Chain A
Amino acid sequence: MSWTVRMLNSSIGRKQIMAVTGLAFCLFLTTHLIGNLFIYAGEDAFNSYVEHLHSLGPLIHIAEMGLAFFALLHVSNAIVLIIRNRLSRPTRYAKYKSTGGRTLASATMPYTGSLILIFLIFHLLTLKFADHTDKTVYDLLAQSLANPIYAGFYILFIVAVGFHVFHGVWSAFQTIGLNHPKYTPLIRVAGILFSLVITAGFASIPLTIVLK
């Protein structure tokens, strides 16, 4: 076992955990967005999607536990890596200027990540763990998003997700070691398109409800 511990505790090992869990979250975002878009087919269609999802029974619980475990890995490794990175340069530069490598998205990963974590907790409390006795998920959603402040925050957090994914996708491939002159440019473009689709898709829902 010692080699696994040494691998997972090393800098590259930890980053590869970040990469694999991050890519898994991208798959989750895709299914989550497809599900959410049922809202455009009307209240009944949306509630029926929710029921179908819940009728999966143990499968959905396994998926939830998997996501929770991945989130734990992603966040705990992020904390360790951020602390180690800060310690690796105890004295900051009086002046630091990018030579052209970093982007706004890559430079703000710890911040957008923290915003996503805060949003995730809030999101689970207001929808998943809310009182469902006499309200459907659609009711809870429509009720919370009708509040323009809540809707505004929701959109802000979605933009944070978009930025995180913008850098995250190609970065994950690079960290796993999947870099090739033929495919890397495609992965980069795919990552950017994915972040745009995710941002537009999720943000369209509160916008539609508020503007209705």
Chain B
Amino acid sequence: MSEKNISLTLRVWRQAGPHVKGQLITYHLDDVSTDMSFLEMIDVLNEKLTLRDEDPIAFDHDCREGICGMCGAVVDGQVHGPETATTLCQLHMRHFTDGDTIIVEPFRSRAFPIIKDLVVDRSGLDKIIQAGGYISASTGGSTDANAMPIPTQTAEEAMDAAACIGCGACVASCPNASAMLFAGAKVSQLALLPQGKAEREKRVWSIVHKMDELGFGNCSNERECEATCPKEISISHIARFNREFTRAAFVSREK
């Protein structure tokens, strides 16, 4: 692919701190190489801002290869940008055309308060994991391969759910800011495997109540999460989550 340069108008959400009012600020950027990633484009803009003695745009990022779940912003109304199965760091400028105006906003949810500019506090997702996204059985050393028989289909399904990188795109894209895909993927992954079965009732019960307590919204099956998820996690895991919840309500010994 031949490299070319484009000019862009960016309207970026700038907010100095958690309790300050923010607004969209317009920046013009020329000579943007189409081979750059979206984050590299912001790096270039930030260098210019720094040279002008302005505060650079704060944004989260880490691996920049689409596997860590640290980056993320809403690009022109779409979480992680217009490409499917892509994190923001893997979105390249070749998907934009010369003269485009791009609106860049942080993930918006009551459960994800803004720290600065495009950086939000996603520790709510960690709290959901702390509520039940683990097994507490002492498993000892690793068992021999195939000592614990698990059908391939089941192992694959659990792995599909475990592919979640916890980026929070599901919450940000959900019209109700619900964390059902994130929580559902964890519940589903553990419910499918024998190690997770021991605490399945307690787990789903605690996770649902934690999710509600943190102020995440309710799922109305709009399927935006599935469409946005960089790891393409299916809403069939949300259905399993719903099933697990009903099962726990009736089967659990808790009164």
Contact with B along A32-68 (1 / 0, CB 8 A): 0000000000000000000000000000000000000
Closest residue of chain B to A98 (Cβ to Cβ) is: B224
B197 interfacial contact with A, CB 8 Å? no
- Is the CB of B71 closer than 8 A to any CB of chain A? no
In the complex, what residues of B have CB within 8 A of residue A101's CB?
Answer: 173, 222-228
**Interface membership of A143, Cβ < 8 A:** no
Proximity bits, A133-159, B CB within 8 Å = 1, else 0: 000000000000000000000000000
Give A94 to B220 CA distance when docked, in angstroms. 22
Q: Which listed residue, A2, A102, A178, touches B224 by the CB 8 Å rule?
A: A102
For the complex, is B177 an interface residue (Cβ under 8 Å from A)?
yes
Q: Which residues of A contact B246 (CB under 8 A)?
A: 12, 16, 176-177
Q: How many chain B residues touch A (Cβ–Cβ < 8 Å)?
A: 53
Asked if B185 is at the interface (CB within 8 A of a chain A CB), the reply is: no
What is the distance, in angstroms, from B45's C-beta to the closest C-beta of chain A? 19
A contact patch SS: helix
A13 near B103 with CB under 8 A, answer no
Partner of B108, one of A14, A91, A97: A91
Return the contact of A178 from the options B109, B212, B216, B239 (Cβ within 8 A): B239
* Interface: B240 (CB within 8 A): yes
- A 73-108 contacts with B by CB, 8 A: 81, 84-85, 87-102, 106-107
The answer on a CB contact under 8 Å between B217 and A12 is no
Question: Once bound together, how far apart are the Cα atoms of A15 and B242, in whole Å?
Answer: 10
Stretch at the interface among B46-54, B76-84, B88-96, B158-166: B76-84
Taking a contact as CB atoms under 8 Å apart, the answer to whether B242 and A85 are in contact is: no
Contact A12 B245 (CB under 8 A): yes
A contact set with B: CB distance below 8 Å: 2-4, 6-7, 10-16, 81, 84-85, 87-102, 106-107, 109, 167, 170-171, 174-179, 181, 184
Known: A10-B245, A102-B222, A171-B221. 11 other contacts (CB 8 A): A6-B209, A11-B212, A85-B217, A85-B220, A88-B176, A88-B217, A89-B176, A94-B24, A101-B227, A177-B245, A179-B236
